[in-house]
Structure 1
Amino acid sequence: MAKTIFITGASRGFGKLWAEALLQRGDKVIATARDIKSLDDLVKKYGNNILPLQLDVVDRAAGYAAIQKAKEHFGSIDVLINNAGYGLFGSVEETSEQDARSIMETNFFGLLWLTQAVLPIMRAQGHGHIIQVSSVVGLIGIPVLGVYNASKFAVEGVSETLATEVKGFGINITLVEPNSYSTDWGGSSASHAAAMPEYEGVKTAFYAALSDDMFGIPEATTPAMLKLIDSNNPPLRLFLGKYSYPLVKQNYESRMAEWDTWKEVADKAHGK
């Protein structure tokens, strides 16, 4: 059965790939982008099945208006995919106030505003699925991406809580956690903090540890996303790519070992 799907950040990368895959199989798609001309090819090809909307997700009022327009146009919103976001490269010390505020406005607050806007519609329908595009680095911290990591940790926290609050309304929440992919995320769409020479060694070691195999093929994510959207019992979390699982497993095993080492100290701090 065809669904109506609202997807942000549909101008390129994952957003455009997924939007077109959904349109190809007959779903109705509300596709948003800051530059609406980037959606002209999809409009020409899929006609009335796509509603293109100009949207900068940091504008809360515009986000609410876009959700309402989508509801009025198609009559329902079955799925919201919060995909809009960008990368910020730089050490924590290098990151300026504006760098930090800007990425949180887009990656976290933009996602939060769209989520809040769609919830009344999904509650009234008695069903809905909100898919939050997070990252493997929303679960583990790595160097050079500290404040980007923080934006995705925030997405993880609010979404896990939200899932417990809206399950009774028939609304599912899924956090999609990709590893690295060969999209423009790390290219022209990314932001870079002003470099400090003190961190050159950290950056050199970080980039030297990367290999071509670590970067997945973006098109390969489409079947997983379609299966997720079609699931009657979608997971709270879904990794994309073969590197997410081992990275998180190793990190969480290390956390448990450290917590175990300090458990006696922690227990005594309870006081009774």
Structure 2
Amino acid sequence: MTPPPNPVVCITGSSSGFGLEATIAFARRGYTVVATMRDVSRQTALVARLTPLGLLSRVLIVPLDVTDAASIRAAVDTIDQRLGCIDVLVNNAGIAVGGFLEETSEVAWRRLLETNLLGAVTVTNTVLPMMRAQQQGRIIFLSSLGGLVPTPFLGAYCAVKFALEGYAETLRLELAPFHVDVVLVEPGAFQTSIWQTPLTNERTIPDYDHVRDSFMTLYQETLSKHLKNPQVVANRLVSIAMTRHPRLRYPIGFDAWQEIYLRKLLPWRLYEQLIRKILNLEPRGSGGNK
């Protein structure tokens, strides 16, 4: 893909986190940025960052709720009318749900699926006719380390990201004839609002409490010591958008590379033993099979 002289990038979930930082990073590199968000009243932080940099004129803020097909259609129509194209789509909008799988409600599962998977699918399908007509484009999905590595207590989130990875792999093959690239970005632990998600469910099962305590200790340590600057991910998104022949996958962060390679290199039995030990998931009592 050769970027046009004044490329247009559309980013979902731009009110905070990776989406906000990516909006600024793309605007700095000369892109026209369509920053979409479910509630445009939350644009204050983004506008406050753009204004002193003199970049506000490069950004079009558009309401878009990834769980509402009519909202998506209206947003894409607005972009078509105002700018005439979308060269890069960054599917960033997402939520997290914590808790053990047995405790996760059907309502929580549906929220995750509708936002993190079906939302990205619907946005992509709405943009694709424009990209096919252009015979060029790039679609970047913000996946996660959790899309390749199972993480207890974040199992529902991981399962949906696993599904997103499979969708993106197939889509990449199907869109190759139209010169539309598909890329997965898999960050590790970065400082975004997703880490503010409460990691408790309405329904908790006491049998899991001892494991819950171990995980929460590890979680708090990650929050206090290991979260990295999201600008690293934003800058990589720009780099990927400008790369002539991008790879399918881009893990970002030492923790992402480390855990992905451990998962790939270790036989499952050894990997399972390692995770059990770290998170105190060893079988309890004499009835467990080790």
Give runs of aligned pairs for residues 178-257 of structure 1, distance below 5 A: 178-187=187-196, 192-194=200-202, 195-209=204-218, 210-211=221-222, 212-255=224-267
How many Å separate the matches in 1 of 2:186 and 2:57?
Answer: 31
Moved more, 154-163 or 49-58: 49-58
How many Å separate the matches in 1 of 2:190 and 2:205?
Answer: 27
Query: 1:196 Cα shift?
Result: 2.6
Query: 1:203 Cα shift?
Result: 2.1
Letter in 1 for 2:232: A
Letter in 2 for 1:221: V
How many Å separate the matches in 2 of 1:47 and 1:141?
Answer: 40
How many Å separate the matches in 1 of 2:175 and 2:121?
Answer: 14
How many Å separate the matches in 2 of 1:122 and 1:93?
Answer: 41
Change (3 A) 1:198 1:246: same
Contact 1:129 1:172 in 2 (8 A): yes
State the partner residue of 2:43.
39
Q: Which runs of 4+ in 1 moved over 4 A?
A: 42-45, 255-258
Which whole-Å deviations, capped at 9, do the CAs of 1:170-198 have from their partners, x for residues lacking one? 0000000001112111105x674223322
Which whole-Å deviations, capped at 9, do the CAs of 1:194-225 have from their partners, x for residues lacking one? 23322222222223345455322212223222
User: Which of 6, 26, 44 is 1:2 aligned to?
Assistant: 6
Give 3-state SS (helix, strand or coil) of 1:203's partner: helix
Moved more, 206-215 or 2-11: 206-215
State the partner residue of 1:17.
21
How many Å separate the matches in 1 of 2:256 and 2:143?
Answer: 12
Moved more, 63-72 or 158-167: 63-72
State the partner residue of 2:278.
none
How many Å separate the matches in 2 of 1:141 and 1:106?
Answer: 20
Contact 1:5 1:27 in 2 (8 A): yes
Structure 2 length-normalised TM = 0.83
Say yes or no: does 1:158 pair with 2:162.
Answer: no
How many Å separate the matches in 2 of 1:238 and 1:159?
Answer: 13
Query: 1:48 Cα shift?
Result: 4.0
Contact 2:172 2:181 in 1 (8 A): yes
Letter in 2 for 1:49: R
Query: 1:69 Cα shift?
Result: 1.6
Change (3 A) 1:191 1:3: farther
Give runs of aligned pairs for residues 47-58 of structure 1, distance below 5 A: 47-58=56-67
State the partner residue of 2:287.
none
Give 3-state SS (helix, strand or coil) of 2:241's partner: helix
Q: Could you say what the CA RMSD is over the residues aligned between the two structures, in angstroms?
A: 2.0
How many Å separate the matches in 1 of 2:55 and 2:199?
Answer: 33
Give 3-state SS (helix, strand or coil) of 2:101's partner: coil
Query: 1:52 Cα shift?
Result: 1.0
Give 3-state SS (helix, strand or coil) of 2:162's partner: helix
State the partner residue of 2:31.
27
How many Å separate the matches in 2 of 1:138 and 1:14?
Answer: 17
Letter in 1 for 2:201: A
Aligned residues: percent identity?
34
Structure 1 stretches lacking a partner, 5+ long: 259-272
Contact 2:187 2:233 in 1 (8 A): no
Contact 1:174 1:234 in 2 (8 A): yes
Contact 1:182 1:216 in 2 (8 A): yes
Aligned length: 257
How many Å separate the matches in 2 of 1:240 and 1:2?
Answer: 27
Query: 1:46 Cα shift?
Result: 3.5
Query: 1:118 Cα shift?
Result: 0.9
State the partner residue of 1:263.
none
Structure 1 length-normalised TM = 0.88
Letter in 2 for 1:148: Y
Moved more, 27-36 or 220-229: 220-229
Moved more, 215-224 or 42-51: 42-51
